[in-house]
Chains A and B, each alone.
Chain A
Amino acid sequence: MGKKKEIDDRFKKFGTKSFTLTSKVNDFIDYLEKEKVMGTKCKDCNINFFPPRADCASCLKSDLEWFDATNDTGELVTFSKMKYGPIGFEKDLPYTIALVDFGDYKIFGRIGKNIADKDIQIGMKMKVKVNKLDNDRINYIFEKI
């Protein structure tokens, strides 16, 4: 019996419940653990990708570099406060999903629960921040600037 090959399944830690085990951008999770929300950039095409991609579909190259989105300032594009959630998200309810535009790229996620509903306005300035969850899980949230 040979040694069982180890699977790099870091991505299973992402979010309340992850539907992906393995990804070529697994390093994203390590960066989250270092308080950084990172995207990837194709050096040849000069395109920023968020969510990060492992491969550039324009030039077909796969040696993309990471860029840090953590300190960038974006604008809230839209949001929705969810009263019901899918299976596995019951304990999080209610929560507010949102989309924030950072110019060269956009990020989809949740708005931090410390922001009151009445303070959420389309166009407000926001930044993305790493958010540690129970059971050693991790994601990111949007915060007011």
Chain B
Amino acid sequence: MGKVGIIGVGQSAFVRAYPGSLKELAFEGYKEAVKDAGITAKDIGASVVCSAPEYDKQRSPAGVIAEYLGLNPQPTFYVETLCSSSSMGLKLAYSLVKSGLHDSVAVIGIQKMSEISSAESQERMGRGTDIQWESPFGTMMPAYYALFAQAHMAKYGTTLEDLSLIRVKSSTYGPLNEKAVFRKSLNLENLTSPDSRMTAPIASPLRVGDCCANADGSSCIIIANEEKAKALSKNPIWILGLGAATNSVNLTGRKIYTGLPAAREAAKQAYEMAGISAKDVDVAEVHDCFTIAEMMAYEDLGFANPGKGKELIHGKETYKEGSIPVNVDGGLLSKGHPIGATGGSQIRTIVQQLRGEAGEIQVKDPEIGLVHNIGGVGLYGNVTILGR
């Protein structure tokens, strides 16, 4: 069996409230990916639609979206792993191609969070955890990640300023990303001054500036088998490694609170499949839904030893010019986080980097890129490794 290549990538702008329907939003990311690949719907053998349910009022969105995109009569699959849905969708699409069932597949990530109010949306996010034993205490995503931040600070001496530096990096690149929802520039003072809106508490120790924003958005990744990828694309990007893991939903089932075991396991699988190690990665996109999440990602992926993630950000090693550039498209903190679309957007950024088409945020001559995409509070971990 040959390789599997990515031949087209696309995403909509990530916005607060998309002025159109779910399927119209899906069309935006799809159209960009199909044009990028230079193909038509006839070249696509199947679709995988990825979103987190309960935001969508539409029941069974996959079939409805496939029809609107002109993908009838091809089959469509629906994949959901909360915030990592479209990375998991890529893994399913890879298996569909690798098995020979389909020679090309479109992975469509989508979320229209504004279909419901922000308060309702927070409540639904919170229910991506243990609804029987945790939700009755009134939990929400920022508070879960805050538990990890608190534990990381206690064990490793991580400070609020360390976390703020991660947001400063995000906001260095957010203004350059025309698809990002948050494009204001923020400096360390904006993020640490007691008078700033950014330091208003959300769930201790996390503050407004530590959290990403909800958004509406769509993404699309089109993959094909080696023969078709070479025939259709001048510059396919190859899928070298795919790791996916799960962990206990209730935090009582965890052994550590300073990292995410599902991310560590997924990274191990992906490195092994690609035959590389952390030091071989030239550019990465990590799941920075909160600043602490990026800090833990540095450590879970092996870019830094446990507790040493802060040295990377202090040394600007994760900036564009650093030794391991991370989230130089602004990450979730600047782009916004439309749950089902996020993984596809991260993959798009890495594909553009590897093609040398990333414009102002282009990292120097990368060969290998990595995507780290987390569902829930580490309930699901996905790591994808791509190469030229």
CB pair A97 B139 closer than 8 Å: yes
Chain B residues with CB under 8 Å of chain A are 119-120, 122-123, 126-127, 130-140, 142-143, 146-151, 154, 200-206, 250-252, 257
Q: Does A89 contact B (CB under 8 A)?
A: yes
Task: Kindly list 18 other residue pairs between chains A and B, CB separation below 8 angstroms, not including A16-B138, A19-B135, A86-B123.
Answer: A23-B132, A51-B130, A51-B133, A80-B147, A81-B203, A83-B203, A85-B138, A86-B139, A87-B123, A97-B138, A97-B139, A97-B147, A99-B147, A108-B133, A109-B137, A110-B137, A110-B138, A122-B154
Q: Which residue of A lies closest to B253 (CB)?
A: A106
23 contacts between A and B (CB under 8 A): A11-B132, A15-B136, A15-B138, A19-B136, A20-B131, A20-B132, A51-B250, A78-B257, A81-B201, A82-B140, A82-B202, A82-B203, A83-B204, A84-B203, A86-B119, A86-B135, A92-B138, A99-B252, A107-B252, A108-B130, A108-B251, A122-B154, A139-B137
Q: Is B136's CB under 8 angstroms from A78's CB?
A: no
Q: Are the C-beta atoms of A15 and B252 separated by less than 8 Å?
A: no
Whether A105 and B138, one on each chain, are in contact in the complex, defined by CB atoms closer than 8 angstroms, is no
B252 and A50: CB pair below 8 A?
A: yes
> Are A80 and B137 interface neighbours, CB within 8 A?
no
Residues in B whose Cβ lies below 8 Å from that of A88: 123, 138
Instruction: Assess whether B204 is in contact with A80, with CB atoms less than 8 Å apart.
Output: yes
- Check if A17 sits within 8 Å of B257, measured CB to CB: no
Contact present for A84 and B151 (CB under 8 Å): no
- Name the CB-closest residue of B to A101: B252
Which listed residue, A20, A77, A106, A108, touches B137 by the CB 8 Å rule? Answer: A108
What residues of A have a CB within 8 angstroms of the CB of B140 in the complex?
A: 82, 84-86
Q: Which residues of B contact A89 (CB under 8 A)?
A: 138
Interface residues on A, range: 35 or more
A110 to B130: give the CA distance in the assembly, Å. Answer: 15
Q: Separation in Å of the A71 CB from the closest CB of chain B?
A: 19
- CB of A14 within 8 Å of the partner chain: yes
Q: Residue B151 contacts which of A16, A78, A139 (CB distance < 8 angstroms)? A: A78
B251 touches A99 (CB 8 A): yes
> CB-CB < 8 A to A11: which residues of B?
132
Contact A87 B119, beta carbon cutoff 8 Å: yes
Rounded to whole Å, the gap between the CB of B161 and the closest CB of chain A is 19
Which residue of chain A has the shortest Cβ distance to B201 in the bound complex? Answer: A83
User: Measured between alpha carbons, how far is A108 from B251 in the docked complex, in Å?
Assistant: 7
A122 partner residues in chain B, CB cutoff 8 A? 150-151, 154
Task: Tell which of B120, B132, B154, B202 touches A78, judged by Cβ atoms closer than 8 Å.
Answer: B154
Within 8 A of B (CB), among A50-95: 50-51, 77-89, 92, 95
Please name all residues of chain B whose beta carbon is closer than 8 Å to the beta carbon of A50 when the two chains form the complex. 252
Chain B residue numbers with a CB within 8 Å of A84 are 122, 140, 142, 202-203
Assess the B137–A15 pair: CB atoms within 8 A. Answer: yes
The one of B131, B136, B138 in contact with A95, judged by C-beta atoms closer than 8 angstroms, is: B138
Bound Cα distance A82, B146 (Å)? 9
Identify the closest chain A residue to B145 (Cβ): A80
State in angstroms the CA–CA spacing of A15 and B257 once bound together: 24
Decide yes or no whether A18 CB sits under 8 A from chain B: yes
Other-chain residue from B120, B132, B149 in contact with A19 (beta carbon distance below 8 A): B132
Instruction: List chain B residues, Cβ under 8 A from A19.
Output: 127, 131-132, 135-136
Q: Which residues of B contact A80 (CB under 8 A)?
A: 143, 146-147, 149-150, 203-206
Q: How far is the CA of A100 from the CA of B143 in the complex (A)?
A: 16
A84 to B203, CA, bound (A): 7
A20 and chain B: residue at smallest CB distance: B132
Q: Is the CB of B138 within 8 A of A79?
A: no
A11–B150 Cα distance when bound, in Å, is 31
- A83 partner, pick from B123, B126, B202, B252, beta carbons under 8 A: B202
Do the beta carbons of A78 and B127 come within 8 Å of each other?
no
- Closest Cβ of chain B to A27, distance in Å, is 14
- A77 and B133 CA atoms in complex are apart in Å by 18
Min Cβ gap B128→A in Å is 12
Output the least CB separation between B275 and chain A (Å).
Answer: 34
Instruction: Return the contact of A14 from the options B127, B136, B147 (Cβ within 8 A).
Output: B136
- Complex contact B202–A139 (CB within 8 A): no
CA distance A51 to B134 in the complex (A): 10
CB distance from B295 to the nearest CB of A (A): 15
CB distance from B196 to the nearest CB of A (A): 16
Closest to A102 in B: B252
Question: What's the nearest-Cβ distance from chain B to residue A62, in Å?
Answer: 17
Cα(A18)–Cα(B137), bound, Å = 9
**A81 surroundings in chain B (CB, below 8 A):** 201, 203-204
Find chain A residues with CB under 8 A from B131 CB: 19-20
